[in-house]
Structure 1
Amino acid sequence: MRYSTHGRRRRVLAGLATAAATALALSACSGSTSVGNGKDAADGYDPKATVEITWWTGQTTEAEKKAEELAAEYHRLHPNVTVKTSAGATVTDDLLTKLSAGFTSDTYPDISYAFGSWAGELAASGRTQDLSDYVKDPAFGWDDFPAAARETATSGDTVIGVPALVDNIALIYNKTMFDAAKLPYPTDDWTWEDYRAAAKKLSNPAKNYYGSAYSVSGSEDTTWHLWPLLWQHGGKILDGKKPAFNSDAGVAALETLRTMAVDDKSLYLDQTDEKYGPLFWSGRIGMIMSGPWELLELANHKLNYGVTQLPGHNGDHQTVSGPDLWVLFNHDDPNRAGASRDFIKWLTSKEIDAKWNLAIGNLPLRSSEQSTPEFASYVKQYPGGQKFFENLKNAKQARPTLAGYEEMSRNVGDAIAKVLQGAAQPKEALDEAAKASAGVLEDS
């Protein structure tokens, strides 16, 4: 969902800091209900039973009002079901902490918004429903969601939730800067060599103009921008529970960025994650790798921009996605479990999602929504929205949902930051990150 300035970028990556602090607490309270215990949480569900379910939406004021409207609409259609909504936490990042406390005091909701990176921790809590069989029903339309979003909703072999938001990273460029440099605009056929060459020509560091930008904060914003290059080179993040990002593919991916940052000095290196967006909007940076959450800001700044898929390696233009989830929880009450499933099935249907995600400026959850009038309105209001939607096909892999991912991500982010600031070489930095991450991942 769209938050405050730069909120979506910070939000996609967010829970990683919070998750590490709460993982032990979540695991510690996994003693009562557990997924995969052989009994379906909705066994004995009576669709006519009077029931109240709680929905933590994780939304800001504007989106929360929309959520309340939809809960009321569902109640009109199902008078026996009351959906009690709340944001769940003042800041979405705090939802995981609130859930952990709720597990201890038995005050957790039936449905909660969750960052995809929390899937491992939430599954380990033992409170999530197992939806694996439920989503197989053809009427649910599970395959209508992007593959990366379905994978993110799955921890191990267990589906614990339903996609709540989908996105991806593409290349956004400033047409005015390209015109001034007499450069052709980026295309879907671009290679990383094309990207590097254009960035070098657009750059004038002495006057604070840069061809492109990269985060060196060490956060997930640093890390997840490397994964598309890794995948394009044929690499993997993990091999089972062992780090694999320090392969030859990972080294080649990071070397691509190192040459731009250190040799060409064509990358603006952002220490905070907060500066490169505004610098792009103001015409100081020619290209950024970012997502559909930028479109509202771009419209507000009246920038003459274009969107194309990421540069590719050997014709592979894979990208990365940061899907978020509606996670469903088990309260040992089949009517609450069944009602929460039915509500989320309704909320994420083609017709209703068009009133939800598209209405608040996000990409649609389902591929079938491209035929809706709401989608036509979305792409008209947000130039580049169509390209981001099409780019979902390049989100072929998901970030790991192991509980140790967040610590591994910080290790990789620190390695990338060192390399791009000239303090280390790709191989040694990635090997160090892999060594630091191995024990954490094996214990997850």
Structure 2
Amino acid sequence: MGTSLTRRVFLLGSAGLAAGCAAPGSASGGPVTVEMWHGQEDTALDVLKGLAADFERTHPGIRIDLGGGVLADAMLQKITAALASGSYPDIAYVFGSDLASVARSPQAAEMTEVVDNGPDFWPAAREAVTINGRIRAVPALLDSLAVVCNKALFAQAGLPLPADDWRWPDFVAAAAKLTDASAGRFGTAWPGVGDEDTVWRLWPMVWDLGGEIIAKDGKHIGFAGDTGVRALEVVRDLAAAKSVYIDPKSGSDQMYQAFQSGAIGMVPTGPWKLPDIVDAGIDYHVVPLPTFTGRPVTISGPDTWTVFDNGTERVQAARTFLSWLTAPEQDVRWDTGAGSLPLSHGAQALPEWQKATEETEGLSVFVTALDSARVKPVHPAYPQISQAVGVAIVSVLLGQASPADALRDCAKVADAALLIPR
């Protein structure tokens, strides 16, 4: 799900380090250098560079090195190799879905003090960095999923814009009415590669229906019955009506380009796409995800700043930087500059964020959705579960399997992954 997020200030350790105080230098007398594999590019990286420079001015005992690493999509492979070689960074940007695998390393430092002494992180952000009751990273990104509608296409189809309490059958019906094959227009879109971008859009349906990704016994998926079938039936119905554009390439760029060119009526997406939609000149409307039950639910895909142990000085310096970085005053700079949601109620309340929501149509819908947001389980078998679900969704999208058959095959693979000792 990946795209953006950020920071905070509070006491660390028994002595503590306030935001305005300089952290001690290294034992040799010089500054402690924190190597950070940031995972960012373009605008987000520029914002992070500015924040790091400001931190160094107020903390002369710590230097932040942003020179290494790779983009976030390749971070897991890079970190895995680095840990195996014994040469790893102090901080890395790790996707939330990869944290369970990375945190198994004894080099991954615990971050309980940083998060507990930090701001009032949204529950989804805390949950995403907690494994077996221990906080293993610091929240770095926070988003949510909602539906962005093209107002002009709704008007052209004679459809009222969706209300906040709409249901999935309403979504399917609207998609059919918005579709015009002769004009090359689709009602909605869905990634069709089978990757995590394909999968995470299904989980709010599963949760809404009372299912779980992993059952309480930890040995089976928690959506193998009617829950999973009903969710996949939405996908089937969209495909059967030929009202869904299936993006054949990873990254979902084609479906977003089609939406921005006026060829798609509505698309479930996150707040990171709003700047592109605004730039494309689309007159749009944002509504929460539909539900089956009337209970609001969405998904958040928090990513993390994970710290690795290169000695006490560097771990303490990394914690100091992340405490400062995730403080509301810094967080709101990242949010407004790099297109993310605030990590905490404190950042949300700041005038800078309130101004951003006033200036950007629909942004407040994504923030409000955080009240009902859930996250994927931080479990080492999740990548295998996701892969199996991705195959199931694509097979239903392409009409190659019924929801029940696709789910049965998915359960065999996913349950087997859960039984592998880790």
TM-score past 0.5 threshold:
yes
Of 234-243 and 59-68, deviating more is 59-68
1:74-223 matches, cutoff 5 A: 74-86=55-67, 88-89=69-70, 91-137=71-117, 140-141=118-119, 144-223=120-199
Cα distance in 2 between the residues matched to 1:66 and 1:207:
41
Residues 1:45 and 1:294: Cα distance change in structure 2 (over 3 Å): closer
Q: Is the 8 A contact 1:232 1:318 kept in 2?
A: yes
What is the Cα deviation at residue 134 of structure 1? 4.6
- What secondary structure is seen at the aligned counterpart in 2 of 1:283? coil
**SS in structure 1 opposite 2:66?**
strand
1:19-418 alignment runs, 5 A limit: 47-50=23-26, 51-86=32-67, 88-89=69-70, 91-137=71-117, 140-141=118-119, 144-239=120-215, 240-262=218-240, 264-272=241-249, 273-331=252-310, 333-395=311-373, 397-418=374-395
Cα deviation code 1:94-153 (max 9, x no counterpart): 22222223223332111111111110111112211112355333xx22xx2222221111
Shift of 1:45: 9.2
3-state secondary structure, aligned to 2:92: strand
Q: CA deviation at 1:42?
A: 7.1
Displacement of 1:434 in angstroms is 1.1
- Which structure carries more helix by proportion? 1
Q: 1:49 to 1:418 in 2, by over 3 A?
A: same
Match of 1:33 in 2: none
CA drift at 1:67: 2.1
Contact 1:44 1:335 in 2 (8 A): no
Q: State whether residues 172 and 287 of structure 1, in contact with CA within 8 Å, keep that contact through their aligned partners in structure 2.
A: yes
Return structure 1 stretches of 4+ with deviation > 3 angstroms.
41-47
Cα distance in structure 2, aligned partners of 1:42 and 1:101: 31
| Distance in 2 separating the partners of 1:349 and 1:218 | 36
C-alpha separation in 2, matches of 1:328 and 1:96: 14
CA 1:337–1:231 in 2, change beyond 3 Å: closer, same or farther?
A: same
Contact conserved, 1:163 with 1:326, CA < 8 A, in 2?
A: yes
Structure 2: tracts of 5 or more residues without a match: 4-11, 18-22, 27-31
* 1:81 partner letter: I
2:114 touches 2:138 (CA, 8 Å); kept in 1?
no
Quote the residue 1:37 is aligned against: none
State the alpha-carbon separation in 2 of the partners of residues 246 and 231 from structure 1.
Answer: 13
Q: Does structure 2 retain, via aligned residues, the 8 Å contact 1:346–1:352? A: yes
Please provide the CA RMSD for this pair: 2.1
Identical amino acids, percent of aligned pairs: 37
Letter in 1 for 2:93: Y
Aligned mates of 1:69, 1:334 — CA distance in 2: 26
Letter in 2 for 1:68: K
Deviation at 1:442, TM superposition (A): 2.1
Deviations 1:57-77 (A, max 9, x none): 111143323322222221221
Equivalent pairs, count: 399
Alpha carbons of 1:185 and 1:124: their partners in 2 closer, same or farther (altered >3 Å)?
same
The residue type equivalent to 2:340 in the other structure is: N
TM-score (normalizing by structure 1)? 0.85
Query: Structure 2: which amino acid aligns with 1:370?
Result: Q
Distance across 2 between alignment mates of 1:157 and 1:291: 28
Task: Give, in whole Å, the separation in 1 of the partners of 2:237 and 2:288.
Answer: 21
After superposition, what is the alpha-carbon deviation per residue over 1:4-31, rounded to whole angstroms, capped at 9, x for unaligned? Answer: xxxxx5x46xxxxxxxxxxxxxxxxxxx
Equivalent residues of 2:150, 2:262 under 8 A apart: yes
